[in-house]
Amino acid sequence: MKFFLVILFQFFDFFQPKKVSIQEVQNSVVKIEVNSFRYSYEKPWMQPNISREGGTGFIIELKGKKLILTNAHVVSNAFQIRVRRNDQREYFFAKVKYIAHDCDLALIDIDEKLNPREEFYKNSKSLEIGDVPKLNTPVIVIGYPIGGEKVSITQGIVSRIDMDTYSHSGVDSHLVIQVDAAINPGNSGGPAIQEGKVIGVAFQILRTGQNLGYLIPPPVIKKFLKDISLDNQYDGYIELGVLDQPLDNPMMKSFFNLPEEYKDYGVLVYDILPGSSADGYIEKGDILLEIENYKITDQREVFFNGEYRNYIEVIDNFEKGETIRVKVFRKNKILNLEFPAKITNVLDFQRKNYDKPPEYILYGGLLFQPLTSDLMSTYSSTWLSNNRSDILFFYYHAIQNKTNVGNKQLIIFTQLLVNSKNRYAKDYQHQILETINGIAVDNLSHMWKVLNQELQKNPRIEFRFKENKMPLIFNAEDLKKIHQEILSNYSIYKDHVLRNSYEN
């Protein structure tokens, strides 16, 4: 009988999932050292500074191939990456394969041109991505904090699961897991483990709290990996494109005369992002009632996965081209709408820029730059102190004012490199450029085209700025001479960097 029970227990044990030991997990965790460029938006013509930073990654498997998963911010702007597993002595050179700045994830691999790939992955174990953990459950975070050479393990509790803004892009919001485990610089990209599986990737900390950190949760990780596996490239998150406000005001509800079954539901749509999924289907003034058969409360929430969550989370894992189904209340009628999921670049100007030098035009000592997230970070305090809060208004309300839509860019005269002939232009700093010789400027590439065209055919160049009746005028030949003097005096070898050519 005893022998039979032993066999029976062994039989059931064979079919039970084997838990991965902490030692096995440790040997799948990777120390990452990165040499990267850091560009200056205050002096964009200068060569970038070089910095050396570190982070963490871990080995996963995608379509039968082992790769290293880490944060995008760990390897952004990198020109050299070195990696080493916990059980290895030597570093291996690596390269970025896929990067997603909108959800702060990246996949890197060993650079086979520089060292043997097989040697790095030899006897390694891929970690499995698990499911979203439950609140108040234990979690282990593994990484290489503050540049340490040895792996570090900290423990904590899952304290919150919610939507929040990812600081790497500065604009994109996705699901996050908050834990009270210590997460420090260098931990970024490391796995959070529960029952042998990865339930999050460490990526940012709450600076106002003590021992509070954030993890990128399994749905975001799996969406990133699925996106890549579909066509071997990362396309990004789709954008529903609805700008809304809650309908918790009883007077507003009574004004719209919602059906009885939706008396506690719905959000008012006040604008649509151009080129987004909703563009051409949902209209301003619609009451958005349901999405994918989930009723939307008057607080923008749906009962999703056993709790109330922001309704955007329902479509966060949609791939482009998939069908989105919504229900709206329009002109006293309930309408069922279907439309394809789309990716739009309309919010790109509010995303932080990585892996590319800043755009600018420097001519005659006048520095012009497009209004972007990085420029805001550089100059917002200066603009406020110089009574240019209007620039902040145009930035934050660009969609509603249609100032940064399509190929439009707001261009700011940010700085003057002074010589004896252009010093009077200093009074025009921190103003928004509107026209050159009466020609409305659409974006930086268009500005470069117009400026060179006018320098060739007109004897004078007249810059006009928004809400300034006084133009800034140069003799064209003098401006050309000033330009050459400035380039020589300041040792500037490149007077412009443009992202795209202008086409009208």
What domains, with CATH codes, occur in the chain?
22-121 (2.40.10.10), 138-231 (2.40.10.10), 242-340 (2.30.42.10), 359-497 (3.20.190.20)
Select which of 28, 36, 73, 483 is catalytic: 73
Select which of 28, 76, 169, 188 is catalytic: 188
Give the pLDDT confidence score for residue 402 in this predicted structure. Answer: 75
Report d(CA 130, CA 113) in Å as an integer. Answer: 34
Q: Which residues contact 422 (CB under 8 A, 6 or more apart)?
A: 364, 365, 366, 416, 474, 482
- E strands of 28-172, at which residues? 29-38, 49-62, 65-70, 78-85, 92-100, 105-110, 138-143, 152-165
| Among candidate residues 405, 403, 459, the one with its CA nearest the CA of residue 434 | 403
- Exposed/middle/buried for 262, CB within 10 Å: 0-12, 13-18, 19+? buried
Give the up-direction half-sphere exposure of residue 60: CA atoms within 13 A in the CB hemisphere: 22
- Between 35-39, 151-155, 442-446, 454-458, the lowest mean confidence (pLDDT) is in 151-155
Residue 14 confidence (pLDDT) above 60: no
- Between 68-72, 164-168, 306-310, the lowest mean confidence (pLDDT) is in 306-310
Q: Mean pLDDT across the stretch 453-475?
A: 95
Report residue 211 CA to chain centroid gap.
24
Length of the chain: 504
Q: Is 168 an active-site residue? A: no
Instruction: Compare 151 and 478 and report the one with higher pLDDT.
Output: 478
Give the up-direction half-sphere exposure of residue 90: CA atoms within 13 A in the CB hemisphere: 8
Report d(CA 116, CA 259) in Å as an integer. Answer: 66
Q: Mean pLDDT across the stretch 269-295?
A: 94
Q: Is 152 an active-site residue? A: no
Backbone phi and psi for residue 168, each to the nearest 5 degrees, phi listed first: -65, -45
| Mode of pairing for the β-strands spanning 78-85 and 29-38 | antiparallel
Q: Which residues pair with 54 in a beta bridge?
A: 33
Report d(CA 69, CA 223) in Å as an integer. Answer: 13
Give the pLDDT confidence score for residue 499 in this predicted structure. Answer: 84
Q: How large a percentage of the chain has pLDDT more than 90?
A: 73
Give the pLDDT confidence score for residue 326 in this predicted structure. Answer: 97
Give the pLDDT confidence score for residue 502 in this predicted structure. Answer: 58
Residue 5 confidence (pLDDT) above 90: no
**SS3 category, 459:** coil
Backbone phi and psi for residue 167, each to the nearest 5 degrees, phi listed first: -65, -25
Q: What is the 3-state secondary structure (H, E, C) of 450-477?
A: HHHHHHHHCCEEEEEECCCCCCEEEEHH
pLDDT band at 10 (very low <50, low <70, confident <90, very high): very low
Give the pLDDT confidence score for residue 6 in this predicted structure. Answer: 42
Which run of H or E residues covers position 287?
Answer: strand 287-291
Residue 15 confidence (pLDDT) above 50: no
Phi-psi region of 345 (alpha: psi -120 to 50; beta: other; left: phi over 0): alpha
Residue 219, both tokens: 């749905």
Residue 22 confidence (pLDDT) above 90: no
| Mode of pairing for the β-strands spanning 360-363 and 366-370 | antiparallel
pLDDT band at 167 (very low <50, low <70, confident <90, very high): very high
CB-based contact 315:304 (threshold 8 Å): no
Residue 193, both tokens: 């483990």
pLDDT tens digits for range 229-273: 999 999 999 999 999 999 888 888 888 888 889 988 999 999 998
Q: Is 76 an active-site residue? A: no
Instruction: Compare 502 and 407 and report the one with higher pLDDT.
Output: 407
pLDDT tens digits for range 70-123: 999 999 999 999 999 988 989 999 999 999 999 999 999 999 999 999 999 999
Mean model confidence pLDDT for the chain: 90
pLDDT tens digits for range 131-154: 999 999 999 999 998 766 788 888
CB-based contact 77:53 (threshold 8 Å): no
**SS3 category, 152:** strand
Report d(CA 160, CA 39) in Å as an integer. Answer: 35
Instruction: Compare 503 and 217 and report the one with higher pLDDT.
Output: 217
Q: Mean pLDDT across the stretch 289-312?
A: 90
Select which of 28, 36, 104, 483 is catalytic: 104
Residue 354 confidence (pLDDT) above 80: yes
Alpha-carbon Rg for the chain in angstroms: 27
Give the pLDDT confidence score for residue 291 in this predicted structure. Answer: 96
Give the pLDDT confidence score for residue 99 in this predicted structure. Answer: 97
pTM comes to 0.89
Give the pLDDT confidence score for residue 2 in this predicted structure. Answer: 45
Distances (CA, A) of 382 to 76, 386, 418, 455, 472: 27, 6, 19, 31, 22
